[in-house]
Amino acid sequence: MYKLAVAGTGYVGLVAGVCFAEMGHQVICVDIDDKKVDLMKSGVSPIFETGLEALLQKNFAAGRLDFTTDYQTAYKDADVVFIGVGTPEQPDGSANLSHIATVARQIAESIEKDCLVVVKSTVPVGTNDRVEQFIQDFLVHDVKVEVASNPEFLSQGSAVHDTLHAERIIIGTESKWAEELLMKIYKPFQLPIVSVNRRSAEMIKYASNDFLALKISYMNDIANLCELVGADIEDVAKGMSFDERIGSKFLHAGIGFGGSCFPKDTKALDYLAKQHGYELKTVKAAIEVNKDQKTILYKKASRRLITFNGLKVAVLGLTFKPGTDDIREAASLENISLLLEQGADIFAYDSVGAENFARLYPEGAYGKGRISYVTNIEDALEGANVCFIFTEWEEVKAVKPGTFRVFMRTPLVFDGRNIYRVEEMQAAGVEYHSIGRIPASRQGGKESRGLEVQTGSE
């Protein structure tokens, strides 16, 4: 087993560190935040991720996992240093590599033995070449150092499972030494390994994420057309899913993709192409469709209602998807901003994401509107004039159609995740609007069965 250091304790770094420890490696995770390090040492995960906290506690207690702000001690005798820091999007769509550069210089000034540096963060093609040169420029000791690419393919909400049971592990190296070392580190996982050069590994990450984003935007585009021509997107998706060339995942129509990966990665690849004088028309289209899709519910509700001013608006779900507390690029952000501008009195429910959302919108007034956070769904619905569903949490899916009728002043529901059957909501006396489906009044007695195969999400 090897001595590993992991720079960064966000979704990428912390999950990787915990899972490496679970496989028997000696792991130390580095972060600049003392409070965050103390929190992890006490057995508390700073991010919500299924199964992560339990594995953190288990491996910390076993002595295989530790946390520190002392990067010099962590890096100096590590066999491998994994970089898992953020590469946030800049205004022009390019990736901000400042955190990568900071860690690279710290590594260069700290390592005292031969070391492999592995970039897990999502970075533009060619970045690993530059990182290796950057480390060489600042190297203090006469040691061998090489950089490899090892992009992550985890999905927030199932990150631990995705790491321990990955469909494949991608490693990008420029030498046999680096390739064999990474192969040995990943051997305990017993997973398929695809070994390519560094630039191919970097491109595989972007190409994979952007392809999935394309599928989502394509289905949302088709869903919008379905509403105009009288087709039902769930029946369409079900029919498509039996074609093995298409598959059953990522065919679920809704209000677009969010989170830390798809929006950032589509824009980054679009930017990279432009820098080389090329236009990725398909990726550009996916970005544009997704931008419009996020506020489609608000536009539907605006056509239905004269005004939101003074109305009680129930919001169910704030995170960009279930299973995570991440609100980055969540559809709720844009919609709630618009609703507050129009004077809505918002009562929002999300058992996991409310705390993060409240950092951006603390309880109180914003322009003509107000926002409050409630701890149960009934309080959000009580006396509400309209309800928006932005996240398909299990507790939201468990709400019976009749509940909207009982608690709401006007049982008017705009569902961005197509949780309910159209005919069931109609039977319960609820005016129900969803994405790409035939309104119950136009179904002519036909029951919309919906997609019964796996849909998938980021």
Active site residues: 261
DSSP notation for 2-48: -EEEEE--SHHHHHHHHHHHHTT-EEEEE-S-HHHHHHHHTT--SS-
SS3 state of residue 209: helix
- Residue 153 to residues 15, 142, 159, 204, 230: CA-CA distances in angstroms? 12, 34, 9, 10, 37
SS3 state of residue 65: strand
Which two structure tokens, joined as six digits, stand for 31?
Answer: 């972060």
> What's the N-to-C CA distance of the chain in angstroms?
32
304: left (phi over 0), alpha (psi -120 to 50) or beta: alpha
Site of tokens 């990150």: 159
Q: Are 257 and 291 in contact (CB under 8 A)?
A: no
Please give the backbone phi and psi of residue 306, each rounded to the nearest 5 degrees, phi first: -70, -40
Q: Are 267 and 92 in contact (CB under 8 A)?
A: no
Residue at 236: amino acid letter:
V
Please give the backbone phi and psi of residue 423, each rounded to the nearest 5 degrees, phi first: -70, -30
DSSP notation for 308-343: -TT-EEEEE--SSSTTB---TT-HHHHHHHHHHHTT
Cα–Cα dist 25/11, whole Å? 19
Which residues, at least 6 apart from 405, have a Cβ–Cβ distance to it below 8 Å?
411, 428, 429, 430
SS3 state of residue 64: coil
> Which residues pair with residue 389 across a beta bridge?
316, 415
Cα–Cα dist 402/49, whole Å? 32
Q: Say which DSSP state 189 is in.
A: G
SS3 state of residue 374: strand
> Which residues pair with residue 67 across a beta bridge?
29
